[in-house]
Amino acid sequence: VRVEPTAPGRRRRAANRRRAVLMGGAATAALGVAGAVVLWLNIGTAPHGPVTEKPSPTGSTSSSPPPAAVKPFRVQPKTCPLLSDAQARLVLGGTAERQFLGSMRCQWSTPGGANVMLTTYRVPTVKGCEANYDSMVLHAKDEKERYPRTKLRSVGTSKYRTYAYTRGAPEIRAGFHRSHVTFCMTNLLVTVDYWGPRAGYTVVDRTSVYAVRKLETKR
């Protein structure tokens, strides 16, 4: 049975949604250019522009290569079902309200203002996903230039190529932190963003584990 939110609940949801826009949550678009796949994925400050599909340069940005002989995703999966309400409560540590932001993006918010956002984007080829992953890694490294206390990590809890950062986020709220992780599952680019009172990678790591388990059943 669906219970309609009260007026305060609607106002809180609108406020969280505005905060997500200000945070620059993941917005995606795909463009075809002369047969090449181009993806624009914006999280926080815009990364280094659209990325044209091409082989990854020598010297991977991650020490963990993608698993071999794994089926690619034939269709874009729906993102909200990848994290159950119970799992959202576990990762956020309490009541969490789900906000549908589109088939590729979903967000869960607490009354205290903590948010975790999950984004998936199907790229037609594995090489296309890797090219955009490399662009996201460059963006993560830029985050350290903008905020020198940012911590970067190239090995995560996923068996896929993974890159992440975490930092304090006083520009959002005093005592808040921001964490981000991105990885490729063959031809599916996955990102998890968190902002809230918890420091470190715990929220984005747990969210990634839950999402991967569900996604591995959807190829």
Question: Residue 47 — pLDDT band, cuts 50, 70, 90?
Answer: very low
The pLDDT tens digits for 88-102 are 999 999 999 999 999
Predicted confidence (pLDDT) at residue 75 exceeds the cutoff of 90: yes
Share of the chain above pLDDT 90, in %: 61
Share of the chain above pLDDT 70, in %: 67
Predicted confidence (pLDDT) at residue 56 exceeds the cutoff of 60: no
Predicted confidence (pLDDT) at residue 83 exceeds the cutoff of 90: yes
Predicted confidence (pLDDT) at residue 211 exceeds the cutoff of 60: yes
Comparing 126 with 159, the larger pLDDT belongs to: 126
The pLDDT tens digits for 134-185 are 999 999 999 999 999 999 998 766 678 899 999 999 999 999 999 999 999 9
In the prediction, which pLDDT does 54 show?
A: 43
In the prediction, which pLDDT does 163 show?
A: 94
In the prediction, which pLDDT does 2 show?
A: 44
Predicted confidence (pLDDT) at residue 27 exceeds the cutoff of 70: no
Predicted confidence (pLDDT) at residue 44 exceeds the cutoff of 50: no
The full DSSP string for the chain is -PPPPPHHHHHHHHHHHHHHHHHT--EEEEEEETTEEEEEEESSS--SS-EE--PPPSS-SSSSPPPSS-PPPSSPPPSGGGS-HHHHHHHHTS--EEEE--TTEEEEE-TTS-EEEEEEEE-SSHHHHHHHHHHHHHHHHHHHHHSTT-EEES--SSSS-EEEEEEE-TTTSTT-EEEEEEEEETTEEEEEEEEES--SSHHHHHHHHHHHHHHTT--
In the prediction, which pLDDT does 1 show?
A: 46
Cα 57 to Cα 134: distance, rounded to the nearest angstrom: 9
Cα 26 to Cα 65: distance, rounded to the nearest angstrom: 24
